[in-house]
A and B are shown apart, each in its own frame.
Chain A
Amino acid sequence: MNNVKKRFNIIDFVVIIVVIGCIAGVAVRYNFVNRIIALDESESVTVFFMAKELSPELAATVNKKSEFYCDATNNYLGNPETVAVINSKFVYSDNEGRPQSGINELKKDLRMSFDVMGVKGENGFLLNGTQLLIPGGEMVIKSNSTQLSVIITEIR
């Protein structure tokens, strides 16, 4: 019986180098390195949301104890730092055709702010390093009892 002793030869070495090169190529292609580093550069910002023209009953379900998530990504927002429910406003034309601001007592605007962690990049703020939030953007956030379509009004 012949015992063929397997030796580590040049072909094995080339194979290993190429496999490592492929893995490195994938990591660079999908920016894994920057994403990993970016998570270390997380900072805390305050994100302000507004939901307009809600029914008073729906607006009343939101308070500082509500725990919110982003519906699309399940990113955790937490408890709102501030919650304000105000009467919705509308603009109408007076007798002279000039715009006047009126109060819609049937609807409420809900304004909330959250302190969240993320990365400020050249394209905007990345919530938890993964979800781009930009003023003017719309998104759906949810808690155990509520789902709201909100507009991002400010990131500070």
Chain B
Amino acid sequence: MAKIKEKRKKFNFIDAILLMVILVLVAAFSYIGFKAYDNYFQKQASGIPIKYQILVEGVSNDIKYSVNKGDAVIETATLTSIGKVLEYSITPSKFMGVDENGNVVVNDHPSESDILITVEVNATGIGGTYDINGYSITAGKDLNFRIPGLRMQGKCIAVEESDE
């Protein structure tokens, strides 16, 4: 009678590696799947082109910054991309003085400038409050942002939907 050898399969090192690899693959494909699911619905919901303005007041003339059309704008706390510079203007800050008669006199500040940056981006939302890649923007909101040539705190002073 042939001795039937029962080959007992033991769980070995190769099986452990294989199992780990399968788990990693399942996790990776799940992540990619969920991400694609979210992106699909975001794309369905997004598509509102908006423009908003950031006002940065009192920038010292000691700072040699640069602003360029097309600069990517990044919110520094969340590192969220919140649009691209459409246009900008730099004007002397206003200085409010008082003359000897107590009258308020407004002149240009000798060493500070205001920067007004208009940013364009696609966002979701309606009625003045918009969501840009998870970051909420509305008129009046303070934001810390950076572009390649400047890092500052400013205030969003206006948001509107673009005509295009």
Contact = CB atoms under 8 A, between A and B. Distances in A.
A107 to B, nearest CB: 15
Given A91-B111, A135-B150, A153 B105 contact: no
Contact of A124 (B24, B104, B146): B146
Interface of A is mostly: mixed
A57 interface: no
Given A93-B97, A122-B148, A154-B64, 8 more contacts: A11-B14, A50-B62, A91-B111, A94-B97, A95-B99, A97-B97, A98-B97, A153-B64
B99 A135 contact: no
A38 interface: no
B103 to A, nearest CB: 7
Interface size class of B (residues with CB under 8 A): 35 or more
B146 A134 contact: yes
B81 to A, nearest CB: 11
A91 B65 contact: no
Residue picked from A22, A25, A136, A153, most chain B C-beta under 10 Å: A136
Interface of B: 14, 17-18, 21, 24-25, 28, 59-60, 62-66, 72, 74, 95-100, 103-105, 107-111, 146-152
A94 B152 CA distance: 30
Interface string A77-102: 00000000000010101111111010
Interface residues of A, number: 32
Contacts of B146: 123-124, 132, 134, 137
A50 to B, nearest CB: 6
B59 A22 contact: no
Given A18-B21, A89-B111, A91-B109, A97 B98 contact: yes
B71 to A, nearest CB: 10
A73 to B, nearest CB: 16
A1 interface: no
A15 interface: yes
A22 B17 CA distance: 13
Contact of B151 (A94, A96, A135): A135
Interface of B is mostly: strand
Given A18-B25, A153-B63, A99 B110 contact: yes
Contacts of B99: 93, 95-97
A25 B24 CA distance: 12
Contacts of A96: 97, 99-100, 105
Interface in A111-156: 122-124, 132, 134-137, 151-154, 156
A101 B105 contact: no
B96 to A, nearest CB: 8
